[in-house]
């Protein structure tokens, strides 16, 4: 089965093709100054051409569904929905944190993917490494850096940190975890469409997907626009006439 993976949940955009247990092709662009809406389709076309594959040959599409950038998620899901619907192929959504944890794990370790959620928060979840892959042990969370450190402090297992939010932890994580903390190599810190594709392949085998047009992003928290609208409504309701 040929699966196309898409990930535009963060500043990084990536596209990958897998078949079975093999990675056929992958391209990752970590160029924040360019918008995903401009670069995603050219990257996809280049990947397919390089792999000698037509879009019609793809058996299923796997898309990173969040949490992440609200605009980025809509671009990736919109692209996946369009292809899946037009070609009558399955669309599998994969939580972004699950895919990031899949980048780098080993049995007995705690895996902590971290994504910058803006507004002083980090998207995260904790996973336990197993031979078959990371097993999620918490909800998907939006926490301040100190909250993440408090989640990680109990226990004695090594902690694998990865993602674009590591720098937001500051020195607190090193003071609390010491030698337990391990930051993965830079390439493994980036979201990868190949991880999305492999997890999508697994999910498709376990639970075939329904109508791709009904797929929704996993947001975890409200957008800044929604929060500002709520504040304006509350302020308006508090006025006295």
Over residues 188-241, the pLDDT tens digits come to: 999 999 999 999 999 998 876 656 767 788 898 654 444 343 334 334 444 443
What is 2-96+191-230's CATH topology? Nucleotidyltransferase; domain 5 (3.30.420)
**Mean pLDDT value of segment 115-121:** 94
Helix (H, G, I), strand (E, B) or coil at 196: helix
Model confidence over 38-85: pLDDT tens digits? 899 999 999 999 999 999 999 999 999 999 999 999 999 999 999 999
Distance CA 126, CA 141 (A): 9
Nearest Cα to 100, choosing from 121, 116, 87, 84?
116
Q: Output the pLDDT for position 208.
A: 66
Q: Output the pLDDT for position 33.
A: 59
Q: Output the pLDDT for position 230.
A: 36
Q: What is the mean pLDDT of the chain?
A: 88
Strand order in the sheet with 2-7: 22-29, 13-19, 2-7, 60-64, 91-94
φ/ψ (deg, to 5) at 195: -65, -40
Please say if the pLDDT value at position 106 is more than 50. Answer: yes
Nearest Cα to 105, choosing from 116, 117, 97?
97
| Domain regions of the chain by residue span | 2-96+191-230, 104-189
Confidence of residue 163 (pLDDT cuts 50, 70, 90): very high
15: enclosing H helix or E strand: strand 13-19
φ/ψ (deg, to 5) at 13: -115, 135
What is 104-189's CATH topology? Nucleotidyltransferase; domain 5 (3.30.420)
pTM confidence score: 0.88
Alpha helices in 88-223 (DSSP H): 96-102, 145-152, 172-177, 186-189, 193-206
């Amino acid at each position: 089965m040929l699966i196309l993976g898409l990930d535009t949940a963060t500043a990084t955009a990536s596209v990958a093709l897998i078949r079975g247990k093999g990675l056929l092709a992958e391209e990752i662009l970590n160029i924040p100054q360019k918008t995903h809406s401009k670069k995603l389709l050219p990257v996809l076309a280049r990947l397919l051409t390089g792999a000698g594959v037509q879009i019609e040959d793809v058996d299923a599409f796997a898309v990173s569904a969040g949490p992440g950038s609200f605009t980025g998620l809509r671009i990736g899901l919109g692209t996946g929905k369009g292809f899946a619907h037009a070609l009558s192929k399955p669309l599998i959504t994969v939580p972004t944190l699950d895919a990031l944890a899949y980048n780098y794990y080993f049995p007995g370790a705690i895996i902590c993917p971290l994504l910058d959620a803006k507004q002083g928060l980090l998207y995260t979840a904790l996973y336990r490494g197993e031979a078959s892959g990371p097993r999620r042990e918490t909800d998907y969370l939006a926490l301040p850096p100190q909250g993440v450190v408090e989640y990680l402090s109990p226990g004695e297992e090594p902690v694998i940190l990865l993602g674009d939010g590591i720098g937001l932890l500051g020195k607190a994580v090193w003071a609390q975890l010491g030698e337990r903390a391990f930051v993965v190599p830079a390439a493994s810190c980036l979201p990868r469409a190949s991880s999305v594709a492999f997890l999508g392949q697994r999910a498709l085998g376990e639970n075939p997907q329904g109508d791709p047009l009904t797929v929704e992003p996993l947001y975890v928290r409200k957008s800044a626009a929604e929060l500002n609208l709520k504040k304006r409504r509350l302020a308006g309701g508090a006025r006295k006439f």
